[in-house]
Amino acid sequence: MNSKEIAKMARVSRSTVSKVVNDYANISDKTREKVIEIIKKYGYVPQASARNLAGKSNKMIGVFITDVNHDSKELRVIESDYFSPFATAAMDYADKFEYNILTLVIDKNRKFDKARKLFYNKTISGGIFIGAENNVQEIFELIRSGYKLVIIDQERYKDRVVGKHIIVNSKNLEGAYKATKHLIEYGHREIAHICGDMNKFSGFKRLEGYKKAIVEAGLPIRTEYITEGDFTEDSGYESAKKLLKNNNKITGIFASSDNMAIGAMRFIKEIGLRIPDDISIVGYDDIKIASYISPSLTTIRVSILDMASIAVKSLINFIEKDIKSSRYNTVSTELVIRQSSKRIKE
Q: Which CATH number covers residue 33?
A: 1.10.260.40
**Are residues 30 and 64 located together in one domain of the fold?**
no
Domain span holding position 41: 3-46
What's the pLDDT at 45?
A: 59
**Are residues 105 and 211 located together in one domain of the fold?**
no
**Average pLDDT for the chain:** 87
CA dist., res. 148 & res. 131, Å (int): 18
CA dist., res. 94 & res. 235, Å (int): 34
**Are residues 160 and 202 located together in one domain of the fold?**
no
Residue 176 domain flag: yes
| 64 torsion bin: left (phi>0), alpha (psi -120 to 50), beta (else) | beta
**Are residues 207 and 113 located together in one domain of the fold?**
no
Beta strands per DSSP E along the chain = 60-66, 100-106, 126-130, 149-152, 166-170, 191-195, 226-228, 252-255, 280-282, 299-301, 327-331, 334-336
Residue 342 domain flag: no
**Are residues 109 and 224 located together in one domain of the fold?**
no
Residue 54 domain flag: no
What's the pLDDT at 74?
A: 47
What's the pLDDT at 51?
A: 42
**Are residues 36 and 96 located together in one domain of the fold?**
no
CA dist., res. 234 & res. 68, Å (int): 14
What's the pLDDT at 49?
A: 45
Residue 344 domain flag: no
**Are residues 102 and 211 located together in one domain of the fold?**
no
Residue 51 domain flag: no
Question: What is the tally of structural domains in the chain?
Answer: 3
**Are residues 296 and 313 located together in one domain of the fold?**
no
Residue 194 domain flag: yes
- Whole-structure pTM value: 0.80
Residue 341 domain flag: no
What three-state secondary structure class fits 242? helix
**Are residues 108 and 166 located together in one domain of the fold?**
yes
Q: Are 137 and 115 in contact (CB under 8 A)?
A: no
Angle made by CA atoms 229, 232, 234, in degrees to the nearest 5 = 85
What three-state secondary structure class fits 185? helix
Question: Which parts of the chain register pLDDT below 50?
Answer: 48-55, 70-72, 74-75
**Are residues 324 and 220 located together in one domain of the fold?**
no
**Are residues 155 and 276 located together in one domain of the fold?**
no
Residue 55 domain flag: no
**Are residues 189 and 274 located together in one domain of the fold?**
yes
CA dist., res. 315 & res. 95, Å (int): 13
